[in-house]
Amino acid sequence: MNFQDYPVTIGLIIANVIFSLIGFSNRDMVDKTIMWPYRVARENQYIRFITSGFLHADYMHLIFNMFTLFFFGRNLEIYFSIYGLGGMFSYLALYFLALIISDIPSYIKHKDDYHYRSLGASGAVSAVVFATIIFSPWSSIYIYGALKISATVYAVLYILYCVYMGKKGGDNINHDAHLWGSVFGLVFTLALIAFMQPDLFTGIIEQLKHPSILGNG
């Protein structure tokens, strides 16, 4: 394993860990950087769309997001490079735009709610996961290290779950950010391929012709 092959992924993980660890013991810093739609709307604190994505609620939240970012992000970083899709620049653009776009629905919905706040990299991480799935749609994903399904089946189930839980609510998880981050990851990457390397669609379509519920590998 050569970390030099995916420096952006490692850099993002380090930034998330440092910022989150500081936040765990510095409530004042969290209050100034968390996504707080009420403050954003009234004080034009739009930087919160970015800073809130580097905060996490607790160690489990941080570990789960960074574990996911590592295993999917390193592959996406390599895909963007070897397929001539803009490499590091496109990867960073995807990540930071996803942080912003995934929070817009929550911002609109809660901009008059003084008590609503959200944090976490999940919107951007979801974008990375779904962007990666495009290049290997029938690869295997192990949910909680045990349940094996294909990446495409996982993507469909994940979207349905986010839509359902987003409507149901009540669990203190920003499912809207997960949903729109996932959608953005797909749209951004498909647009990138169409603009820069449209011939890649031939290989992607060919892979989709050979479905596997449990995945390959």
Domains of the chain: 3-208 (1.20.1540.10)
Confidence category of residue 1, pLDDT binned at 50, 70, 90: low
How far is the C-alpha of 69 from the C-alpha of 185, rounded, in Å?
A: 13
Which pLDDT score, from 0 to 100, does residue 170 have? 75
Which pLDDT score, from 0 to 100, does residue 85 have? 97
Contact between 216 and 138 under an 8 Å Cβ cutoff? The reply is yes
Q: Which residue has the higher pLDDT, 16 or 4?
A: 16
Residue found by looking up tokens 């953005």 in the block: 184
Task: Enumerate the H helices of the chain as residue ranges.
Answer: 7-24, 27-33, 37-43, 48-51, 59-82, 87-110, 122-135, 151-168, 175-196, 200-208
Which pLDDT score, from 0 to 100, does residue 110 have? 95
The 10s digit of each residue's pLDDT in 36-64 is 999 999 999 999 999 999 999 999 999 99
Cα 28 to its chain centre, rounded Å, is 26
Residue found by looking up tokens 């895909």 in the block: 79
Which pLDDT score, from 0 to 100, does residue 217 have? 65
* 19 Cβ contact partners less than 8 Å away, ≥ 6 residues apart: 51, 54, 55
Confidence category of residue 214, pLDDT binned at 50, 70, 90: confident
Contact between 21 and 55 under an 8 Å Cβ cutoff? The reply is no
Identify the weakest region by mean pLDDT among 28-42, 58-72, 125-139, 164-178: 164-178
Global pTM reads 0.94
Tokens at 94, concatenated: 């995807």
Residue 102 in this model has a pLDDT that exceeds 80: yes
How far is the C-alpha of 183 from the C-alpha of 55, rounded, in Å?
A: 22
The 10s digit of each residue's pLDDT in 180-200 is 999 999 999 999 999 999 999
